[in-house]
């Protein structure tokens, strides 16, 4: 317990000591609405006050109620009684008992900052309403976080979501799953580039983009990667769990096989790739 110049927050424990009238002294936790029950005075709103202003408020209420003639009140705060839990993609997950202002960015810094696998969404909930979750967009590069920074109350639970991935397969050099958090927006051409480009046998004009919707359903869209790479068509944005499939061109495959056979001289074989 200690005297604080910072505002009192919901979830913190306060001790009200009336030195010349101990029957009015109490220790209580600040409710989620910012209130504290005080003996003989009822419910008193403490949230936003500091130790000095809360002490002055109780003194005035005791005098106005003619309960104590000259009360001497001291309000102290134990912010460590209810910490803030930080989980997920941070370097040091745990329960932290911050002093002073409880800003989200400060709590993340106390947890060692974001891990390399951090995504762009932070989930915030509280002890009193664990099922009510607030999703906060967060830029791991710290370019656009100020507008989303916010005060956290004691008892909050912060979960840094992992970076999502998108998938690319078919006729690309390196099919697989790739993270979509490296930049603010990931496009189809960027995902193809991450896969080291399309093979010469690819039918880029009939590339399939499969969007995964929040309910788990999927929408299939045909895109022309050739036009996109030549800036002749819009480059669609890729979201988490999307899939790009670059199909095989039968004609190109036949030509590659034919030229590969013709170019085979002795022990030398010509291997033809595109996008390298």
Distance CA(270)–CA(255), nearest Å, equals 13
Strands (E), 97-242: 118-126, 134-137, 156-162, 165-170, 176-179, 186-187, 207-212, 218-223, 237-238
Tell me the mean pLDDT in the region 229-247.
Answer: 93
Pairwise CA distance, residues 111 & 105, whole Å: 10
CA dist 191 and 210 (Å) reads 13
Token representation of residue 165: 């991935």
What integer pLDDT is reported at residue 140 of this predicted model?
Answer: 67
* The pLDDT value given to residue 128: 65
Instruction: Cite the residue boundaries of each domain of the chain with CATH code 3.10.560.10.
Output: 83-162, 176-252
Mean pLDDT of 99-119: 84
Under CATH, which architecture does the 13-80 domain have? 2-Layer Sandwich (3.30)
pLDDT tens-digit map of 171-228? 999 999 998 876 778 899 999 999 999 998 899 999 999 998 878 889 999 999 999 9
The percentage of the chain sitting over the pLDDT mark of 70, rounded to a whole number, equals 86
Integer distance in angstroms from the first to the last C-alpha of the chain?
65
Rounded to whole angstroms, the Cα distance separating 183 from 143 reads 11
Q: Where in the chain is the domain with CATH 3.30.1950.10?
A: 13-80
Confidence bin at 271 (pLDDT 50/70/90)? very low
Q: What number is the average pLDDT over the span 158-175?
A: 93
CATH architecture of the domain with residue range 83-162:
Roll (3.10)
90 touches 118 (CB < 8 A): yes
Fold of the CATH domain 176-252: Outer membrane lipoprotein wza fold like (3.10.560)
- Write out pLDDT tens, residues 44-98: 999 889 999 999 999 999 999 999 988 999 999 876 666 788 999 999 998 887 6
């Amino acid at each position: 317990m200690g005297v604080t110049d910072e505002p009192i927050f919901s979830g913190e424990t306060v001790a009200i000591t009336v030195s010349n009238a101990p029957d009015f002294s109490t220790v209580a936790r600040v409710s989620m609405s910012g209130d504290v029950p005080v003996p003989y005075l009822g419910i008193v709103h403490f949230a936003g006050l500091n130790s000095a202003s809360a002490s002055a408020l109780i003194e005035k209420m005791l005098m106005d109620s003619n309960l104590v003639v000259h009360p001497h009140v001291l309000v102290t705060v134990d912010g460590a009684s209810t910490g803030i839990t930080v989980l997920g993609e941070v370097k040091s997950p745990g329960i932290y008992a911050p002093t002073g202002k409880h800003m989200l960015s400060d709590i993340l810094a106390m947890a060692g900052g974001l891990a390399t696998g951090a995504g762009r969404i932070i989930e915030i909930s509280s002890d009193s309403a664990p099922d009510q979750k607030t999703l906060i967009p967060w830029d791991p590069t710290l370019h656009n976080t100020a507008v989303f920074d916010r005060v956290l109350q004691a008892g909050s639970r912060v979960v840094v979501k992992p970076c999502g991935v998108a998938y690319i397969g078919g006729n690309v050099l390196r099919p697989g799953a790739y993270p979509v958090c490296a930049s603010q927006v990931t496009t189809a051409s960027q995902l193809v580039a991450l896969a080291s480009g399309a093979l010469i046998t690819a039918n880029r004009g009939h590339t399939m983009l499969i969007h995964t919707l929040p309910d788990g359903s999927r929408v299939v869209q045909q895109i022309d990667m050739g036009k996109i790479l030549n800036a002749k068509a819009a480059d669609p944005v890729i979201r988490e769990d999307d899939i790009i499939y670059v199909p095989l061109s039968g004609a190109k495959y036949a030509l590659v096989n034919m030229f590969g056979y013709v170019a085979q001289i002795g022990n030398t074989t010509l291997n033809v790739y595109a996008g390298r």
